[in-house]
Amino acid sequence: MLLEFSAAFSHHCGKHMRALCIFAQPGGVMIIDSHTHIGSIACFHLSEHTLIDSMRRYGIDFAIVSNLEGIEYISPHEKIERQVPQMDLNRKALVFVRANADILRMLFWIKPNTEGMTEEARSFISANREHIAGLKIHPFHSRLHISDERYLPYLDAAREMRLPIEVHTSFDEYSRPSALHDIAARYPEIDFIMVHMGLGTDNCESIDLIRSLPNLYGDTTWVSPDSAIRAVRECGSRKILFGTDSPIDGSGTYERYAALLRTIRDQLTAGEAHDVLCGNALRIFFNGMAPASNGDEAGAHE
């Protein structure tokens, strides 16, 4: 299934998108953006149309998307007044990814502070597992330290259901990379993606942490090209995933990643670039649906 999917998708992209692919990589390697959003809440307005349209314009073949309407706090001192129920926001994401199933899968955005893991959420995820690639945790916007026990029911569900988890990391007290490392060490069966590799830091500590655990990965969202390459050199190309937060800055968000994609093309081997741009995402997010294809994403090559 994984191989079929990859081959079908490469074909699809080759036919319809390659002429416009500003980011086209040598050999036509597919690009999966492992970190995108939709949703309108507080100061965020990320439209479904903008995401799809910019993927097309920039030649992004596939994206993992989550609905940021799950944020519980704007800042530690400001709670979202009108909370969007956890099930509502994820149902909305499901409708969107279902309608675009050839290019999207979603992460279930959790609300551990104001709600919690429920039987309903669990059934929703398992009934829609083909569209739901994992969980999304945002400790800062949930105002909940990643080590808080209110995450435990979600972590247990992720372990049972073989769901990888993307976790926002930064220098604030809730989102520390070292705290995520400690959780990842306690849950070796779960793959954790350390989103941003410590936003607003020089990424050095995060790179060390990612290198030290087999189930802890890094993504390139808001990471400089130099740091991203250093992460690949130090952790290995199978530990770093391409991600962007698109369309956080509108339809031109991908422009900010042009330098990164050029650097990946120029400084990594074809195999390393393939890992970062699609191979790791295929292995981590699609493995649950294709256990027989474990680790073999050769079909993504054209």
d(CA 248, CA 20): 22
Indicate the length of the chain as a whole number.
302
CB of 135 to Zn ion, least distance (A): 13
Nearer to Zn ion, 196 or 283 (CB): 196
Give the relative orientation of helices 119-127 and 152-161 as an angle to the nearest 10 degrees: 30
Q: How far apart are the first and last CA of the chain?
A: 17
d(CA 142, CA 123): 23
Q: Which of 33, 61, 72, 245 touches Zn ion (CB under 5 A)?
A: 245
CB of 195 to Zn ion, least distance (A): 6
Nearer to Zn ion, 72 or 245 (CB): 245
CB of 119 to Zn ion, least distance (A): 28
Do the Cβ atoms of 176 and 168 come closer than 8 Å? no
Do the Cβ atoms of 286 and 5 come closer than 8 Å? yes
Nearer to Zn ion, 143 or 274 (CB): 143
69 is an interface residue for Zn ion by CB under 5 A: no
Choose the stretch contacting Zn ion; rule: CB under 5 A; options: 129-137, 172-180, 245-253, 285-293: 245-253
166 is an interface residue for Zn ion by CB under 5 A: no
* DSSP summary character for residue 82: S
Nearer to Zn ion, 69 or 245 (CB): 245
At 199, phi and psi to the nearest 5? Answer: -55, 135
Nearer to Zn ion, 245 or 272 (CB): 245
| Residues lying near Zn ion in the complex (CB under 5 A) | 245
